[in-house]
Chains A and B, each alone.
Chain A
Amino acid sequence: MDDELKRSIILDNFSNPKNKRVVDDPSYLTSNTNNESCIDNIDLFVKVEDGKIVDICFNGEACAISTSSTSIMIKNLIGKTIKEAKAYVNNFEAMVNEEAYDEELLNDAIVYEDIYKQKNRVKCATLPYTGIKKIINNLED
């Protein structure tokens, strides 16, 4: 993917993020990333039915990279089983940590393939993943 396209995907997900809204529904599992970063703050709301993620929303104040990364993650995770979601998260983390990963699984999240070059941005891109792991790692595959 060329840099212009990556930039426009990131900006688009930043300006029009997927499912940015607060949910007040006890059937959603929640997590907050306040402790992970002293600046970005993202709340995730995840609804799981029969071992499958059926909805994810988020809310919070975060930078362009965190916000867009959250939006892209949400698009990619809705509809996945917990097992698939875990595999996707591992794959994304492998990419930003410069380890071997499967491009196919990542869809648009591939826009962060070079993020490791910007040390001060790695944490931003992975922030929603830190949040989602707090939820799905407690669930059976």
Chain B
Amino acid sequence: MNRNDFLMLNQDIIFFDNAATTFKPVSVVNAITDYYNKYCCNAFRGDYKIGLIVDDNINNTRNLVKDYINANSTKEIIFTSGTTEGINIVAAGYFRKILKEHDEIILSKGDHASNIMPWQRLASELNLVIKYVDLDDSNYVTLDNIKRVVTPNTKVISLAYISNVIGDLRPIKEITNFAHQNGIYVVCDASQSVGHRKTDVQDLDVDFLVFSGHKMYGPTGIGVLYGKKDLLELTDPINLGGGMNETFTDFDYQLKELPTRFEAGTLNIAGIIGLGEAIKYINSIGIDKISEYEYKLREYLVNKLIKLDYIDIINLESDSGIVTFNVDGIFAQDVAIYLDKYNICVRAGNHCTKLLKDVINVRNTIRISLAFYNTTEEIDTLVDLLSDKDKIIREML
């Protein structure tokens, strides 16, 4: 779909590493260059016309994000540098203030380092307990297994909506419903879902949700932290400085209102503009149409791979465009390098999900992650190359 919108696709390349980052449509790239070439200046301080264009664009993006994830208000939309920063703000800015010794945090071993390590640091600082929810036979997170690890001390559940190796869509809405009945907060890492599947923060009812622009056809270095307004009001910004202070005197300061108080220093203006354009782009196709198409591609790929008996698919069923596998007897990285010789980009490794090896018993895997601009023809090329194991061994060196 829409392949002409991506100049990266003009070259001889098949890109199957969209979970790491996606390509950017021309409209996004143009919006960014327009900012630098036509109205380049700082935000919220210019007394001149081009400054007002910048301000308008920032406000527009905030509105676009709000509508895209169905937040209540733009006060709940905070620009960050990405998912990683978002989770760190939530952990250190909110939960550090409210958690107490022996409180428990529930995480999953299928989650990314950025949704584990900030909690580990907090746990060691405050003497909290981290518990990992058991994954089921398909390596999914289920509500039942969450219920099994919850205790009266559980205060936070932090999970990816879609995980980045197994690609399972977690039942966040049901988890949140149960969590809130038990006084537990829910933090959601939406980085793998937000460009592929509808995200409605009011429907999910999560307390915080974070994502990165670059995994949703937007630029790198920009992301969003959504938080319920009453919770953000109580959250401390990590950075202090220009733009976010109401006043400051020799020994004291007062912060601005939401969301500005979280956005110290010069913003990533080009990133914000690019993110806004990426959302417009997704909306122009329709997120549901993207989900459906990517799911069909996934089925097409899995149905072909499954016929190769030396390929072990780790996540036969999952609700995303992520397919993770190994070729029996060949190290994941060797397969990736073999495919790269044919200009096919796949990812090999542990995908920053180092704890998952305890569960799936393999440390390294090959991951294909699809986007709507991938095609069945590209999948045919990939599968053809994987169909001859001797050829892989011959050519991998």
A65 contacts the other chain (Cβ, under 8 Å)?
Answer: yes
CB neighbours of B332 from chain A (8 A): 39
| Cβ 8 A contact of B363, one of A11, A61, A63, A120 | A61
- Chain A positions within 8 Å of B, measured between CB atoms, are 7, 10-11, 38-41, 61-65, 67, 118, 120-121, 124
Residues of A within 8 Å of B397, CB to CB, are 7, 10-11, 64-65
Q: Decide if B363 touches A41 in the complex (CB within 8 Å).
A: yes
Q: Is the Cβ of A62 less than 8 Å from the Cβ of B337?
A: no
User: In the bound complex, do residue A62 and residue B393 qualify as a contact, i.e. CB atoms below 8 Å apart?
Assistant: no
Whether A39 contacts B334 by the Cβ 8 Å rule is no
- Residue B204, interface by CB 8 Å: no
Give the A-B contact count at a CB cut-off of 8 A.
36
**Which residues of chain A come closer than 8 Å to B331, judged between CB atoms?**
61-64, 67
Q: Please name 10 further chain A to chain B contacts, defined as beta carbons within 8 Å, in addition to the given A39-B332, A63-B337, sorted by A numbering.
A: A7-B394, A7-B397, A10-B397, A38-B350, A39-B348, A61-B363, A62-B331, A63-B333, A64-B334, A65-B334
- Check A40/B333 contact, CB under 8 A, given A7-B397, A61-B363, A65-B397: yes
B394 to chain A: closest residue by CB: A7
* Whole-angstrom CA separation of A61 from B349 in the bound complex: 11
Q: Does B364 contact A (CB under 8 A)?
A: yes
Complex: A63 Cα to B337 Cα, angstroms: 10
Contacts of B340 in A (CB 8 A): 120
CA distance A39 to B340 in the complex (A): 17
Interface check B382, CB cutoff 8 A: no
Known A38-B349, A39-B350, A61-B331: A121·B393 in contact at CB below 8 Å: no
Instruction: Give the Cβ gap from B347 to chain A, nearest Cβ, in Å.
Output: 10
A114 to chain B, nearest CB (A): 11
| Complexed CA–CA distance, A39 and B364 (Å) | 7
Nearest chain A residue, comparing its CB with the CB of B341:
A118
